[in-house]
Chain A
């Protein structure tokens, strides 16, 4: 559906996007993740044909964005970082203009405007000037614009930025439901959001691809050693000595959590990824340590992200 091949964007000496390749399948939601200035917006501007690529190709639905721009652009709805709205237009008037711009047949225009207004809940604002709308509503009108003509591909650049928590939840729901019929690329620097909404995640830093996979796989394969959080009534000496008898323990650390008097919380990590909980349970039972809490430490996408983009920075 969307095929990006060896995409490069060069500004003088600076490579904003460096040899980026990936594909997005039909009906998939791809989360596009990276710290600020990683090249997310630049990449999106190239995918939508707003800017040209220095090298490389983008194919949408089989149409090359640079060779057949009109056909490719017809398949794309784009919500840039700043919603591209005219402050001096009324909501309905603006969306009407969008239907004309996107060459929707004349007879379907009114219905199309109504449809997108309904979908984004802006129908009651239709006669307001866009400059009088709040940031959240402006964002909605911007997304309504992207949905005009029901394009197969949606490119959304940080669609939840500037929304209040209620609107964010609502927007995520909407994007998820849109994902059933559309192919979506969604950029964000909020990891939770990407984790909640996307089928696959592409992490980039300094314009380079770091990884592309499902959120779970990223956490699993790049999460490193698996760990267990355990709270026991035992002195640090006794506990460390006892754990040392177990095989393949990478390290033991004291976690700064206060469960109760005389109870200490430890993080125990295995070096081979083996399940530690049954061993630790048996160990505590054998040594007579009273067990208060035992659970595995879940690495979040956030940890992985910080780990990987952080590594990129030190290089």
Chain B
């Protein structure tokens, strides 16, 4: 296990390094400058600014400097906001994104699981058709449509919850719901097909042949085995949803990371782009790692010790 962990950590560092390098080089290819008033700057003003931010040096030197700072845990300063570190910007913005993401994820997963499991157990009945329809709609209709519908009906017509803005806990509910639609659809479809597959397995017949009642068979033999693959899917889904989605944050006026990320790309805020990309990648790698470890715990056939046991 220890060897496995060290190995995985080494891979993670290498992967991050490659991502940082690629992002850094790709950014250099973008046209334009980080200065909002670039046209008005004189040659000498431009030179002073470039020198201040280190942009006058060759790309290779810039890159090495960045890596050097990164190793010391320094993500640098923002270009667009005077004197703000990238760290503090991410810190301010990640809270709301993570909160609505987490709520959407938990709610969506629970509803999705219930929907998918019921649908598999009532395979080819009206219940099944209804839930498959819900899942397909949830997958195919973009989340901003649901966001708008929620705002109009629950926010405006019924007036139960605030339409937008980030003021109190109530403001988090609608964006979370809008985010959960995709989660519900994805999870429901996935668990349904996994359940159907497991239900057809011989060991389920064995369990029935032992005289277990139907709920015993379903809980002990079917659901557990059907859930294992869902874990794999849930990890990456969690990362993408909790690190903020641009559209939902824009529509509901949530001061989240997704919005910040898009903005920083528009104004070429190099260090913020780098910082957020790095955060996404690191989280992703971490979650994939957690999923792998969980998988080993859930499925006894997977041995993380590296196959030393027969």
A and B: interacting chains: no
Residues of B in contact with A (beta carbons under 8 Å apart): none
